[in-house]
Structure 1
């Protein structure tokens, strides 16, 4: 059994113990209805951590929140098992069978030309599965939860319809439709009719959701991040007014707008959201024969792993991650310390980060890469130091 399989079995066992005689009184009192709020809460906590990671935050907290969400799934499976309905094993088997069945181009001899054909085949296979179970194919739009956030649901509805060809040919058509809906909203605003306002505003929001899908920018995510920015900027206004001794509610709109613009300017001065989390390093100081060569090499590499150049002695090249420092100082070549270059390991935040560094190194320093695998890359710098960047 794999390590992940063993840990899942352990979690299932813990859940069974919590629900058994002599287990936890609170866990034993729960049912499907009482657990609904916790499932929703844990889902949104995962989304919060995903947003933080997207802005350069650490991955560890996301790992913990995913564990909390997994616990909810195990909890619900335990409730079903107690009633003889299904077990966690059935849950795993069901999704595994579904994924294999809907990817014949991976697990069978099917062929596809691209991701669009994958989605088309997915809906076709899904309809066939439903017909076997219920006797009818159902609608392509089935499966979009009615309880999902409305903006997310709008995007998913248009995405599902697009899988069978009901879609605009290009983004220009989507943008023109949005303009049309905005004109109709203006007419509703002029009329003042409440029903028309709701109708036309809904059409505008639906068109915006569809535009977000075309731009490959999920509107639910975009709006959630806009909300985060609004909170940050508004709290900046509140702090600035307090510092000026102006009671909240007594500042003019123009005064608050100045602070709002200052908050926006501060946001733009921050590193881009795509910057990578800093990589951990244990060893700090090395003597090298050519500090200038080291400096040229690391000036290119450091930004790619979340480090930055720092001020050191005139003859040194220094780099830091905010807590630790890597210092290259003149002296004997690092590779001659014991007949072989020492090897150091940097922690990569993702497989994508590993690939990004490999591509950059092969372009800027041919020959530096000593070996590459999907989850790690080994490279040598001008001083002979051997580095490993790994997930």
Structure 2
């Protein structure tokens, strides 16, 4: 059986080469290096140890994925050809080495034995350089995949493979989003290499301005100070909620139930909508936080009652998003947004065992009436029960309006139930016009309410300027002020 020895060259100091690595170098078998851009290669040159490397692949490859796949394929072919080869990588083979990860995944299918000969990881000299004890928490992040990972502000983070200014610039942008531009980080070059190690303490915004960025550059981000804390994460929010509802917490928070705070969810949702309508981004940020608080609050109550916890909530929505987006996470193809929405609904109906068209309408419940009617009309239109164009919907509004007038005339005999029914029909018809025009009736009505309040505020201020109280004015006088308010708003 062919065999590949996978050997770590350590972080860079020749004195950190393990005895096992030296024995393999001197074994007389083919020595293959992922890269010869590494300080310990001087040892090979000084001792005239033959080797080959894959640096040429980095120069010709279009991206790292292509480079790594080529290296792995070539190593497997060399192993079959030479029966036994040595593959050397910087640091420890099992720390931040993608080619090793790919090799180990293929060893069973290739019927090739692989043996790991570890070396000192680059992590060791980094934590020595910055004085960090990993027992306090440490996260290692690949700088080449910074967008696919998240820093943890409550522990130390090490970012590896910050090879050049382009990668440093991308890392800077991602870190600034979390920590801000002025947060101090440590840039470490040639960690553990005698006379070459450098440590720079800089604010994040200066990261891509450094001239010292090289293939041996790593970044250390200290955890956020818990006493003088300026930023928080989801873990902090869960801890705060746990404290508030703990034995020594807030009596009010401890007493709350799902039902006692259920109105808060609706109120906060409307405040989010209002912030969006007002284009108030600062307020929107705050209101979204209030919505998040409600999710965490209900999850904590459910956890104490033994039903579910926040991780169940997050897992549930992640599974739902993946399941309902087969065109992104699976092989299904879609042509446009309408097809995406159709597929979303069809999968939802299937999972909830909703079979009849009527059940699709009944499934929409517990929403404000305008929103519910809007969604029910959408569901009916999905199967073709709809007007050809908006003119049919407008004619229906006119028809329902006259039926209200007729019911009002009849109501002189006292049948207000008939009036209520016809007014409901009129509202339903108006919502149908909104749907045709792709206007959300809830948002439209809320805008009108806000507009009414603004005009009413104008009326009251003008009445006070005239030393009058609105309630003492005639309807004609108030109408004049109302018309002035309309003109004032349109200026």
TM-score range, shorter chain: 0.5 to 0.7
1:103 aligns with 2:103: no
Q: How far, CA to CA, are the matches of 2:380 and 2:358 in structure 1?
A: 13
Q: 1:41 to 1:118 in 2, by over 3 A?
A: same
Q: 1:189 to 1:137 in 2, by over 3 A?
A: closer
Query: After superposition, where does 1:271-290 map in structure 2 within 5 Å?
Result: none
- Deviation string, structure 1 residues 208-253 (Cα, Å, up to 9, x no partner): 1121111111111111111111111122112212211233333232
1:90 aligns with 2:238: no
User: Unpaired segments of 5 or more residues in structure 1?
Assistant: 270-391
Q: How far, CA to CA, are the matches of 2:296 and 2:153 in structure 1?
A: 13
Query: After superposition, where does 1:217-256 map in structure 2 within 5 Å?
Result: 217-256=439-478
Q: CA deviation at 1:105?
A: 2.0
Which of 413, 416, 426 is equivalent to 1:204? 426
Which of 144, 147, 155 is equivalent to 2:374? 155
Q: How far, CA to CA, are the matches of 1:2 and 1:163 in structure 2?
A: 41
Q: 1:188 to 1:253 in 2, by over 3 A?
A: same
Alignment partner, residue 178 of structure 1 = 397
* Secondary structure of 2:470's aligned partner: coil
Q: 1:3 to 1:49 in 2, by over 3 A?
A: farther
Give the aligned length: 262
Which of 410, 413, 417 is equivalent to 1:191? 410
Query: After superposition, where does 1:351-390 map in structure 2 within 5 Å?
Result: none
Alignment partner, residue 144 of structure 1 = 364
Q: 1:129 to 1:242 in 2, by over 3 A?
A: same
Q: Is the 8 A contact 1:182 1:204 kept in 2?
A: yes
Alignment partner, residue 290 of structure 2 = 68
Q: 1:243 to 1:79 in 2, by over 3 A?
A: same
Specify the structure having the higher radius of gyration (Cα).
Answer: 2
1:39 aligns with 2:259: no
Alignment partner, residue 11 of structure 1 = 237
Q: How far, CA to CA, are the matches of 1:84 and 1:136 in structure 2?
A: 35
Q: Is the 8 A contact 1:120 1:164 kept in 2?
A: no
Q: How far, CA to CA, are the matches of 2:447 and 2:152 in structure 1?
A: 33
Q: Is the 8 A contact 1:123 1:140 kept in 2?
A: no
* Secondary structure of 1:111's aligned partner: coil
Runs of 4+ in 1 over 4 A off after TM superposition: 3-6, 134-138
Q: CA deviation at 1:197?
A: 0.7
CA RMSD in angstroms, aligned pairs only: 2.3
Q: 1:197 to 1:265 in 2, by over 3 A?
A: same
| TM-score (normalised: structure 2) | 0.50
Q: 1:110 to 1:165 in 2, by over 3 A?
A: farther
Q: 1:240 to 1:217 in 2, by over 3 A?
A: same
Which of 26, 51, 54 is equivalent to 2:277? 51
- Deviation string, structure 1 residues 89-115 (Cα, Å, up to 9, x no partner): 111111111122112222222222333
Alignment partner, residue 264 of structure 1 = 486
Q: How far, CA to CA, are the matches of 1:163 and 1:137 in structure 2?
A: 10
| TM-score (normalised: structure 1) | 0.62
Q: 1:165 to 1:108 in 2, by over 3 A?
A: farther
Alignment partner, residue 253 of structure 2 = 27
Q: Is the 8 A contact 2:349 2:355 kept in 1?
A: no
* Secondary structure of 1:34's aligned partner: coil
Q: CA deviation at 1:137?
A: 9.3
User: Unpaired segments of 5 or more residues in structure 2?
Assistant: 1-148, 155-232
Q: How far, CA to CA, are the matches of 1:15 and 1:89 in structure 2?
A: 15
